[in-house]
Structure formats: C-alpha cells, structure tokens
Amino acid sequence: MDNGKKNYRFKICILTSAFPRDKGDLSGNFILCLTKELIKRKLGIFVLAPHAPRVKRSEELDKIKVYRFSYFFPFTLQRLCYGSGLPTNMRHSLLARLQLPFYSFFQLFSLMWLVNKERIDIVNSHWMVTQGLNGALIRKIFGLPHILTVHAAGLFALKRFPFGKYIARFIVRNSDRIITVSSFVRSNLDKLIGYNTKAIVCPMGIDTDIFVPKDQAKLREKYKIRREHILLFVGRLVEKKGVEYLIDAMKIVTDRLPDVKLLIIGTGNLEKKLKMKVTKLNLPSYVTFLGVKKHDELIDYFNICDLLIVPSIFDRYGHTETLGMVILEAMSCGKPVIASDIGGIPESVKDGYNGLLTIPKNPVDIAEKIVNALTEFDLKEMGKRARLTARTYRWEEISKRYEKVIKEAFMLDCGIEKNNL
C-alpha cells in the first residue's frame, strides 16, 4: 500500500499512548473514533502507539495505518501502557516507572522514522507526557507543525514533576495549536504555565448512532435482571473514581429502597479492596462486580440501568475526571447521570436538567441524590434531555472542529493568513 499516492489533503500522525489492540479493546477507543471521522474528511491518518504482546506491529484499520513501537525487551515485560493506564501503572509498578525513559526514547525514534517514511505533514500528540514532549521536539528539530491535545492525566503528571512547569512551557511554545478536552483542563494548563495559552476547548466525542436508547424490559429479561431499580458504574477501579464512597452510599440507599441493585463494570488495582468492603457492609446481594464488558454489552448495560453513577474524587495525586466519556455514552442512551460536582463533569451534567450533582467523598449526599432521583424525578424526561446533551458531542461535530484546527496549523506553517483558509 502506497499512502503517498492517495488523494489526501494532509497527512497527520496521531501520537498516543493508548489505542485499541483489537476489536474488543476499549483502551483509547476515543482516539480510534476521532481518526475514523478525520478519514472521512479526506485526511490521511497514521497512528503511532505503543506495542503490546500478541499485537501486530503495523496494520490497517478502517483506512487508518497503525504503527506500534516496542519500548522494552522482552516484550512480555512491557508494563507502562494499557491496563489501568500509564499514570496508574507508573504509581503501582516499579518496572513501569523504570520503563518511562525507554518509552520516551523509542517513541521519539519511531516518530522520526514515521515522519520520514510517510512524509507526515502534521503531528497531533495526545497527552503531554510523553507524546506532547516528543511532538514538541519534532517541531523544534524539523519544524513540523505540532497540534497538542491536552488530557488531564499528562497535565497532572507534569504538575507533580520538579521541573514540570518548564517542561510544559517548552511543549506549549513548540505547539502550533493547543486543544484541551474541557474548560477545566484549560484552566489548569494556564495555571501551570503561568499565562493564557489561548487553548481551544474541544472534548472527545461519542457516536450517537451506536449509543442509542433500547428496550429496557427486553434487555433486563435477556440478562436475567429482576430488581426494579438498577444503578450502574462504569470505569477503572482506581482511587480517582471514588467507588468506595458509592458503596458506602449503597448501604444507606438499600435501607430506604431495598429493591435497588448496583452493577459495577470495570477492573483495577482497587477491585479486591472494594469487594471486601461490599462483603463487610453485607451488600453482596445489592452490589455485583461484572468485570470488563465488550462494547456491545456495554451499550446494553447503559440501557438496562436507570441511572449512571459517577462518584469521582481528586485522588492523592490531584487527578480527577476531565469530562467523563461514560457520562456522554450513558446520556446518549437516554440515561440521567448522578455525578460528583468536580473537575470537568459539570460541563456536561447540569444539575436538575440531565442529572444531579453530588458532593465528592460524601456517601450521604450521594445516597440522597440517588433516592431523590428514583422517587421524585421523571427519569424518562430527564433521560430525553440527557440524549439532547449527548448529541452536541457527536463525533461529526467534534471532527469538524479538529479539521479546522488542523488546517489552521498547516496554513500557519505555510505563512498563509487564517482568513484565507
């Protein structure tokens, strides 16, 4: 396949630390969705992501050329990426921490190789560490336009580094355009840098044609779910998700509404601890851990539930939710959301309109909001409003904004005025 002969307006390298390893993998799935939409706009997309055992080093997925680089040997000992995510892996694994310099070096080397091989026009890096840094280095060395997409994890990591502010400034100064995934992230970036970066807020999107309302009764029959009220949590079982406070809240909820069940989808380093907590509080019949679910099953569970619960907190490292993709996915399925009033969550969850906001780390308030939602609110009407909210995050709309930024960065590099685009 000769991508150089294809009729692409621009060739873009998407530099990321997470990308689906197979069809059932949800790791970095939003990057895949974004690239699919950009392909529709006649943009040549080349993804550079870390390798994982038993995964092809290069392949084509839906016209997207994917390259994967190894960063440690033997390959089976690569621990930095995937699983619980790069930041969490580093916190819980010494081996993962030791691999960061190797990861950064081999990523930069692979990026230089790919830029030359595919004649890349623009690099779009996702997460400041280490993708943003390497994208900035490529711009500094070769003058290649660089678009930085800032997600919370990389930003919060730099806030903890001794010289993080100066690294962040270098990355920003060597970025032609900066995108943040929420206003919350933009304000934190500006605080770290010390000046207004003029970043563009452009969240990750969702496919509202896939995440759609379905017949709840039929799905509950299919999955043999008998309880009247179903609550759902979806996410990694890590500290910043605040699941322990939701479990505490369930003790209060079930005393008032015994016909309630909480389904927990996801895994993580706190899974064992959370299961022990459920047992200690005598809640096994009210709380079920379902592990990881495939994409299609996840859509079913969004439709099975009455409410999605997102009890996020600031963890000990200052990490929290930037916006929360599962919030938008549940809303797209017509489900109201009860979520913490924290981070970027209030940008999508409007209290009393499409969901309810709770006080972080407050099981009593979480329980009160759950009971109120189930007994006092018209969940169908609230769900309809949630669906309307989700539609403003359609990938079609998000990709239009990305395309505009890409054109601006390219034309800026060519010395063409913005109003001549």
User: 309: helix, coil or strand?
Assistant: strand
More confident residue, 27 or 200: 200
13 class by beta-carbon count within 10 Å (0-12 exposed, 13-18 middle, 19+ buried): buried
* Rg, C-alpha atoms of the chain: 22
Q: pLDDT over 70 for what percent of the chain?
A: 96
Contact of 236 with 267, CB cutoff 8 Å: yes
Q: From 3.40.47.10, 3.40.50.2000, 3.20.20.70, 3.30.930.10, which CATH number describes the 216-391 domain?
A: 3.40.50.2000
Mean per-residue pLDDT, 238-255 = 97
Number of neighbouring beta carbons within 10 Å of residue 201? 16
Distances (CA, A) of 231 to 186, 380, 389: 32, 15, 20
Q: Is the pLDDT of residue 418 over 60?
A: no
Mean pLDDT computed over 312-321: 88
The pLDDT value recorded for residue 330 is 98
pLDDT(47) > 90: yes
Nearest to 99 by CA among 117, 78, 82: 78
Q: How far apart are CA 60 and CA 301, in angstroms?
A: 30
pLDDT value at position 89? 87
Beta strands in 102-241 (DSSP E): 122-126, 146-150, 177-180, 200-201, 229-234
Local confidence band at 420 (pLDDT 50, 70, 90 cut-offs): very low
- The residue with greater pLDDT, 418 or 16, is 16
**Once rounded to an integer, what is the mean pLDDT over residues 192-209?**
94
Give me the mean pLDDT over the 31-50 stretch: 95
Give the whole-angstrom CA distance, residue 89 versus residue 83: 8
Backbone angles phi, psi at 68, to 5 degrees: -125, 130
pLDDT higher than 70, residue 68: yes
Comparing 6-10, 46-50, 143-147, the range with the smallest average pLDDT is: 6-10
What is the structure's pLDDT at 62? 80
pLDDT at 381 over 70: yes
94 class by beta-carbon count within 10 Å (0-12 exposed, 13-18 middle, 19+ buried):
exposed
What backbone phi and psi angles, to 5 degrees, belong to 51? -80, 160
Which of 357, 273, 368, 366 is closest to 321 using CA atoms? 357
Query: What does each C-alpha distance from 133 to 129, 185, 358, 389 come to in angstroms?
Result: 6, 18, 36, 34
- The angle subtended at Cα 398 by Cα 392 and Cα 403, nearest 5°, is 150
Grade residue 410 by pLDDT with cuts at 50, 70 and 90.
Answer: confident
Report how far residue 68's alpha carbon sits from residue 59's, in angstroms, rounded to the nearest whole number: 9
The whole-number pLDDT of residue 346 equals 96
CA–CA separation, 122 vs 414, rounded Å? 12
- pLDDT (0 to 100) of residue 2: 45
Dist CA 407 CA 372 (whole Å): 48
Mean pLDDT of 414-420: 51
Q: Given this model, what pLDDT does residue 86 score?
A: 87
Contact 316, 335 (CB under 8 A): no
Contact 411, 418 (CB under 8 A): yes
Q: How confident is the model at residue 54 (pLDDT cuts 50, 70, 90)?
A: confident
Question: Where do the CATH 3.40.50.2000 domains begin and end in the chain?
Answer: 3-205+394-420, 216-391
Angle between helices 243-256 and 271-280 (to 10 degrees): 20
| Angle CA 271–253–347, to nearest 5 | 70
The answer to which of 151-160, 345-354, 395-404 has the lowest mean pLDDT is 151-160
Looking at the domain 3-205+394-420, which fold is it? Answer: Rossmann fold (3.40.50)
User: Quick check: pTM over 0.85?
Assistant: yes
More confident residue, 36 or 161: 36
The share of the chain scoring above pLDDT 90, in percent, equals 82
Size of the chain in residues: 421
Name the pairing type of β-strands 355-358 and 177-180. Answer: unpaired
Residue 190 has a pLDDT of 97
Crossing angle between the packed helical segments 164-173 and 133-142, to the nearest 10 degrees: 50
